[in-house]
Amino acid sequence: MEDKKQESGSQPKKAITRRSFLRGAGLSTAGSVLLTTNAFAIDYNEYPVAGEEFGPDAITIKMKVNGITKSLSVEPRTTLASALRDHLELTGTKVVCDRGSCSACTVYLDGEPVNSCMLSVFDVGEKEVTTIEGIAKDGELHPVQQAFIEHDASQCGYCTPGMVMSCVHLVDNNTNPNLEDVKKATRGNLCRCGTHPHVFKATLDASKKTI
Amino acid sequence: MDTRKDKFPHGIPGHNLSEIEREIPIEEPPAWPVNDKLKVIGKRVTRIDALDKVTGKAKFTSDMKLPGMLYAKMLRSKVPHANITSIDISKAKSLAGVHAIHLIENVQKEGEENKGGKYPQVKYAGQPLGGVAAESLEIAKDAIKLIEVNYQNKPFIIDMEKAMEIGAPIVFDVPIAQQEDGGDVGEVHDGSKGKGNVRGPSTSSFFGGPRGDLAKGFEEADLVVEKTYRTQVHTHMPLETHGVVVDWRADVMTVYASTQNTANVRNEMANVFNLPKSKVRVVCEYMGGGFGAKHSAGSFGPMAATLAKKSGRPVWLMLDRQEEHISEGNRPSSIQYLKIGAKKDGSLTGIQQRSHGTAGVGLGAGVGRIAQVLYPCPNFATEQYDVLTNAGPGAAWRAPGNVQGAFGLEQAIDELAEKLNKDPLKYRDLIDKSEVRKVERQRGAALFDWSRRQPAGSGKGTVKKGLGVGQSTWPRFVTLDSSVEVKIHKGGGVEIRSSVQDIGTGTKTVLAQVVAEEMGLEVKDIKVNIGDTFFPVGPGSGGSVVTGSITPPTRNATYEAKKELLKLVAKKWEKDSSELFIKDGQVGHKTDANLKMSFKEATKLMRTSQISKTASRSDDYGGFQQPWGLAFGDLGSVQFAEVSVNTDTGFIKVDKIVAAHSCGRPLNIGQLESQIHGGVIQGVSYALYENRVMDNGTGHMMNANVDQYKVPFSMEIPEIETVIVEEYSARSSTDAYGIGEPANIATAAAIANAVYNAIGVRIHEIPITPSSILKALNKVS
Ligand code: FES
Ligand code: FES
């Protein structure tokens, strides 16, 4: 509702203020940010340097999430985590620390895990975002998800999406991980309930099943 | 009351299993045999809500988004002790997107300090002062920054030992009462006694007051251990913070809450807003971690509701990480003096305990009653003092008091064993009368290979190994206010309803198991609808009460519903309904094997659309120790720790924990393991890592985040093995109890004892850090 309203009312402007917390973060994918209007996209492409200012009003951008291109209207201070949760209602991604120290907000950018709370939604660009909601394909669980269920690797479940993201990435990229590998893959994932032993077991079990 | 006699399994399989006859109310279901003979109880049944959790579909309170919903942020004090002279909200009010602002005003309440000011006095940095609701969280945060608060600062005190000194700034100059959700269970903390910031002492519990004659006890002692142990303040840090979403319509206020106690939040909200309980609905479907601190609506609940009322829109109010650390509870610290006397033969002659702890501006900083009850000793006395400081209030934290108390007691027992020249495990065999802990010691020691243990500090090389043990006890509490409704729907479908919530402990799944076992169905056939106060009232998830309180009425209601269904089948078959049973989804007859009907077919015989039975927790078979629900027996545990200590760097690694536990009849092995892992890992964290660091100069918490508030991540997780000892005591229709608290009590003590065994020097304070190791080894000053 709210998004739509902002969308229709917001015309891309030049010289908009970018929030200071994102300044200097590096516009790694600046040239490829997809915007709804070409005019702005061209402007943006012409000056893809760190320190470029835009905002504070919302801007409409496009983002490919779980294989579907979505259009959303976001303020420049919006993180990827907030865009997913608050704008696209993909609330599987959790925000726990909001400063890159718990991995509850882990998503993939072109297949690589990132902390979405630490990333400006404007830095996503053409990269494809995969969230926990996109891990099961056509209703079929990933072996890691299946193993998490079998080995009781979730308790309250709040860290679980982030844990699953870390473990799926490991299992998809390492055909024969050992315990040490699983520990390394989840070393940034905070879990207060203490699911770690079952997470380790589940992931090792899943890796056997994916060979 | 009509009664009948029935025979129940009693004791520990593989040790002393026998049968016991009990006289029970006539309507109680027949005794269940031991788990081996049951189908779904005691098995590794997968969590029924795991699928939602691993796919990200589980909707927690923080994930809620209602149409028109506003986001709220609390205004909090920036200073630790002050009177507020004025608050200017004019700039915040005119910020676009702000819909409502509310400031907390002074209400004259008994026991509250009222300086005649408009606003309550500030007692700690981070104390809630007000709140803003706006179209986005960012706008709400911007608005908070625009509010100007003028403080008239007062002297404050953060350091507990300084707060005890004469002349220290006084935190409260009035008597205060313990919060209901305060830090300790069972101890009455009387804030009206005592001087200055030191309140108390609390000297008795529901286990009674002092026993015997301490002076005589120490006179009789051949040996005495006399030590002081120290534990830190630590915060709960659940991944989902405290918070609510309030949708206040004309007829009902709906509160979606991240809570361990839907019923209590309902009661508090009804009370604050003077509403009948029937008009407040609290819902908690998924809950992102509690550990004791989430029983109350806090000030965020009423704040969100007030903002919802003022704005006419639903309001989302979840705290941020910093607020969570600062103001939503912590385990109080302790400085415990402990004196234990024993005769040469090892028998205990006296235990004296004196503790001081701070729960900040709250009360409840006791060390529990573990020293009173774990080992029988004729002479005992405790004095437990609360020290008030200008810091955030404590709250119940997994086995309140007992975790601190066990850290002192279980080390002192080890020190005593050493003086007596006895192996710590054998010494416990001598002084511990618990049968279940005896079995836990045996089975745990075998799995752990306790025989490897070497004399303290005898290891060669830089990295030294150490083995240690710690024990615990936790009472069996039962909440009588535990009810469920079980429904059988015509044409199939079985449902259970209660307000009890699943906080990650697996309550939904064990309820489904109990219904399935009794109804002769599979777990997947049962729909569990809980966490909603529009359903029959259930217990709060605290004190390990849930399983012991709610599973017996669950079984009983299912049994009643089943009986009614079987009557219909019996009528059709022209048999006596007592000859019928349901197994594997089929109704059958005990002697006539030809008679068969599927459960679904049977439900079609119903004349109305549902059979609905409600049951409430009744007294234990044979009664309680205390009529309010203190049951007989205890929940005992023995934990073994193996550590490596690098004597050059002071680095400590917990390599392995073997945790041997009992919880009556175990219901779900996988979930029990999970909870034990959680308790152990939190114990490792308490022993070695976490610590709330306060700045004495400003009164602010310095590490109110995830990066500097150190807890174990995957690299610090030890290997954990569990031993679950079945123990039947024939006290209810399920004979099952919880494991939440027991899992957490003994770990820190076991680790401290293992560290001593490794380096030969005892460390009496947690967290045990590299620096405390190097200090103990005289490698740094
Ligand atoms: S919320 Fe992103 S790392 Fe913690
Ligand atoms: S399951 Fe609760 S935080 Fe990991």
Ligand nearest to the CA of A195: 2
Query: Which residues of chain B neighbour A158 with C-beta distances below 8 Å?
Result: 60, 238-240, 288-289
pLDDT (average), residues B6-10: 98
Torsion, Cα B54 B60 B66 B72, to 10 degrees, reads -130
Distance of CA A132 to the CA centre of its chain: 9
Percent of chain A with pLDDT over 70: 73
Best mutation target among B54, B508, B677 (most A Cβ atoms within 10 Å) is B54
Q: What is the pLDDT of residue A119?
A: 96
Q: What is the pLDDT of residue B481?
A: 95
Q: How many Cβ atoms sit within 10 Å of the Cβ of residue B779?
A: 13
Nearest to B269 by CA among B533, B277, B248: B277
Per residue in B537-584, pLDDT (tens digit) is 999 999 999 999 999 999 999 999 999 999 999 999 999 999 999 999
Q: What is the pLDDT of residue B178?
A: 57
Position B781 confidence tier, pLDDT thresholds 50, 70, 90: confident
Residue B3 lies in a domain: no
Q: What is the pLDDT of residue B35?
A: 98
The one-letter amino acid code at B11 reads G
Same domain? For B257 and B210 the reply is no
Same domain? For B599 and B558 the reply is yes
Same domain? For B175 and B284 the reply is no
Same domain? For B148 and B180 the reply is no
Q: Which of residues 476-515 of B touch A (CB under 8 A)?
A: 503-506
Q: What is the pLDDT of residue B117?
A: 82
Report the separation in Å between the CA atom of A190 and the middle of ligand 2, taken as the mean of its atom positions: 8
CA-proximal residue: ligand 2, atom 4 (nearest): A191
CA-proximal residue: ligand 1, atom 3 (nearest): A100
Q: Say which residue the tokens 């990200």 belong to.
A: B56
Which letter does DSSP use for residue B143 in this model?
H
Q: Which atom of ligand 2 is nearest to the CA of A156?
A: 2
Same domain? For B465 and B592 the reply is no
Report the separation in Å between the CA atom of A91 and the middle of ligand 1, taken as the mean of its atom positions: 14
Best mutation target among B236, B239, B524, B677 (most A Cβ atoms within 10 Å) is B239
Query: Which residues of chain B neighbour A198 with C-beta distances below 8 Å?
Result: 670, 673-674, 677
Backbone angles phi, psi at B342, to 5 degrees: -145, 155
CB contact under 8 A, A152 and B46: yes
Per residue in B231-270, pLDDT (tens digit) is 999 999 999 999 999 999 999 999 999 999 999 999 999 9
Position B106 confidence tier, pLDDT thresholds 50, 70, 90: confident
Q: What is the pLDDT of residue B114?
A: 58
Same domain? For B98 and B138 the reply is yes
CB contact under 8 A, B239 and A156: yes
Calpha distance B688→B313 (Å, rounded): 46
Nearest-CA distance from A175 to chain B in Å?
21
pLDDT (average), residues B264-289: 98
CB contact under 8 A, A152 and B670: yes
pLDDT (average), residues A94-111: 97
Q: Which of residues 182-201 of B touch A (CB under 8 A)?
A: none
Per residue in B619-665, pLDDT (tens digit) is 999 999 999 999 999 999 999 999 999 999 999 999 999 999 999 99
Q: What is the pLDDT of residue B262?
A: 98
Position B188 confidence tier, pLDDT thresholds 50, 70, 90: low
Q: Does A1 touch chain B (CB under 8 A)?
A: yes
The two structure tokens encoding residue B579 = 């000859």
Domain boundary among B282, B312, B327: B327
Q: Does A118 touch chain B (CB under 8 A)?
A: no
Minimum Cα–Cα distance from B57: chain A residue:
A92
Binding-site residues, ligand 2, Cβ < 6 A: A 154-160, 191-193, 195; B 239, 289, 504
Total domain count, chain B = 4
N-terminal to C-terminal alpha carbon distance within chain B:
71
Nearest-CA distance from A123 to chain B in Å?
20
Q: Are strands B348-357 and B334-342 parallel, antiparallel or unpaired?
A: antiparallel
CB contact under 8 A, B720 and A197: yes
CB contact under 8 A, B321 and A75: no
Q: What is the pLDDT of residue A43?
A: 31
| CB neighbour list of residue B125: distance below 8 Å, 6 or more residues apart | B76, B77, B78, B79, B80, B326, B390, B698, B699, B700, B701
Nearest-CA distance from B518 to chain A in Å?
24
The predicted model scores a pTM of: 0.94
Position B59 confidence tier, pLDDT thresholds 50, 70, 90: very high
Backbone angles phi, psi at B450, to 5 degrees: -60, -25
Q: How many Cβ atoms sit within 10 Å of the Cβ of residue B626?
A: 12
Q: Give the three-class secondary structure for B136.
A: coil
Q: Give the three-class secondary structure for B581.
A: strand
Calpha distance B355→A191 (Å, rounded): 32
pLDDT (average), residues B402-407: 98
Same domain? For B698 and B551 the reply is no
- Which helix (H) or strand (E) segment holds residue B644: the answer is strand B630-646
Q: Where are the alpha helices (DSSP H) in B7-98?
A: 50-55, 90-93
Report the separation in Å between the CA atom of A21 and the middle of ligand 2, taken as the mean of its atom positions: 29
pLDDT (average), residues A104-120: 97
CATH number of the domain to which B115 belongs = 3.30.365.10
Q: Which atom of ligand 2 is nearest to the CA of A192?
A: 3
Q: What single string gives the DSSP state of each residue in B144-212?
A: HHH-EEEEEE------HHHHTSTTPPPS-SS--B--TT-S-SS---BTTSEETTEEEEE--BTTBS-BS
pLDDT (average), residues B403-413: 98
ipTM above 0.90, yes or no: yes
Percent of chain B with pLDDT over 90: 95
Q: Residue B709 in contact with residue A102, Cβ under 8 Å?
A: no
pLDDT (average), residues B174-191: 60
Per residue in B585-620, pLDDT (tens digit) is 999 999 999 999 999 999 999 999 999 999 999 999
Position B179 confidence tier, pLDDT thresholds 50, 70, 90: low
pLDDT over 60 at A12, yes or no: no
Residue B490 lies in a domain: yes
Rounded alpha-carbon distances, angstroms, from residue B287 to B243, B389, B460, B531, B538: 11, 31, 48, 10, 16
Ligand nearest to the CA of B53: 2
In degrees, to the nearest 5, what angle opens at C-alpha B609 toward C-alphas B608 and B613?
A: 90
Q: What is the pLDDT of residue B608?
A: 96
Same domain? For B284 and B385 the reply is no
CB contact under 8 A, B717 and A183: yes
Position A22 confidence tier, pLDDT thresholds 50, 70, 90: very low
| CB neighbour list of residue A98: distance below 8 Å, 6 or more residues apart | A81, A117, B320, B321
pLDDT over 80 at B16, yes or no: yes
Q: Which bin fits B613, alpha (ψ -120 to 50), beta or left (φ > 0)?
A: beta
| CB neighbour list of residue A4: distance below 8 Å, 6 or more residues apart | A73
Query: What is chain B's length?
Result: 781
Ligand nearest to the CA of A154: 2
Q: What is the pLDDT of residue B174?
A: 78
CATH code given to domain A143-207: 1.10.150.120
Q: What is the pLDDT of residue B173?
A: 83
Say yes or no: CB of residue A102 within 6 Å of ligand 1: yes
Supply the range of the domain harboring residue B667: 434-475+627-776
Angle between helical axes of B747-759 and B402-419 (0-180°, round to 10): 30
pLDDT over 60 at B691, yes or no: yes
Query: Which residues of chain B neighbour A135 with C-beta distances below 8 Å?
Result: 55-56
Position A10 confidence tier, pLDDT thresholds 50, 70, 90: very low
Q: Which atom of ligand 2 is nearest to the CA of A193?
A: 2
Report the separation in Å between the CA atom of A85 and the middle of ligand 1, taken as the mean of its atom positions: 13
Same domain? For B541 and B494 the reply is yes
Per residue in B715-744, pLDDT (tens digit) is 999 999 999 999 999 999 999 999 999 999
Calpha distance B698→B676 (Å, rounded): 39
Q: What is the pLDDT of residue A53?
A: 60
Minimum Cα–Cα distance from A164: chain B residue:
B54
Position A39 confidence tier, pLDDT thresholds 50, 70, 90: very low
Residue B588 lies in a domain: yes
Same domain? For B55 and B86 the reply is no
Q: Does B288 touch chain A (CB under 8 A)?
A: yes
| CB neighbour list of residue A16: distance below 8 Å, 6 or more residues apart | A53, A54, A55, A56, A57, A59, A76
> Is it true that the peptide bond before B201 is cis, omega within 30 degrees of 0?
yes
pLDDT over 80 at B176, yes or no: no
Q: Residue B180 in contact with residue B400, Cβ under 8 Å?
A: no
Angle between helical axes of A196-210 and A143-150 (0-180°, round to 10): 140
Residue B9 lies in a domain: no
DSSP bridge pairs for B450: none
Q: Give the three-class secondary structure for B527.
A: strand
Ligand nearest to the CA of B54: 2
pLDDT (average), residues B213-237: 98
Same domain? For B533 and B603 the reply is yes
Minimum Cα–Cα distance from B260: chain A residue:
A156
Q: Are strands B380-387 and B348-357 parallel, antiparallel or unpaired?
A: parallel
Q: What is the pLDDT of residue A209?
A: 77
Q: What is the pLDDT of residue A54?
A: 60
